[in-house]
Amino acid sequence: MDKTILIATKNRYKIQEMAPILETYGYKLQPADLPKIEIQADTLQEIVAYAARHIPALDKPVIIEDAGLFVKALKGFPGPYSHYVYQTIGCKGILQLLQQATDRTAVFQSAIALKTPTGDTYIFTGETMGKITAEPRGTGGFGFDPIFQPQGTDKTYAEMTLQEKNLYSHRAKATKKLAEFLTAKS
């Protein structure tokens, strides 16, 4: 049985993070050049569900993943707008917004939509509590990784190896839920 899962993304970092987790369950993650309609919405789940509904029916399962950084002192901003905020103001901009903040608590969330060959859609989520550091640290990862320090460690995501990050990562947690679902269903 072919255990290939397509992923609608051009983000190689997402693939690098998710592929090893899926491989431990016997699945192969393969990037697919598919049209991904990304709406602006209040939740990550709405964003990935909408994108999944607009992916054409294929003979393999397809996943769409979106993530967001929700900063408590900023009332959950940037949240589902994280990609745009990162592109416009980056880590430096978030740190400037938090200059006077005493509470630097944040949560990173991930939502994965799975669209099956029969057209059914399932959503899997993961989240990691942590805090925003005072300055960027590390050179690994991508996006807000240099300023996010997960609870239970003194490193930012960007200071971790891929294996370390996957012990804490919001994306890893959602990917494991997806893999467990697929395994139970097969």
- The full length of the chain comes to 186
Would you call 66 a catalytic residue per the annotation? yes
CA atoms within 13 A on the CB side of 167: 11
Tell me which residue of 8, 118, 17 sits closest to 63, measured CA to CA. 8
CA-closest candidate to residue 21, choices 112, 139, 91, 107:
112
108 CA to centre of own chain: 8
The residue annotated as part of the active site, out of 66, 103, 120, 154, is 66
Nearest by Cα to 68 from 150, 170, 136: 170
- The count of other CB atoms within 10 Å of the CB of residue 132 is 24
Q: Give the Cα separation of 127 and 68 in Å (integer).
A: 10
The SS3 of residue 124 is: strand
Q: Which residues are known to be catalytic? A: 66
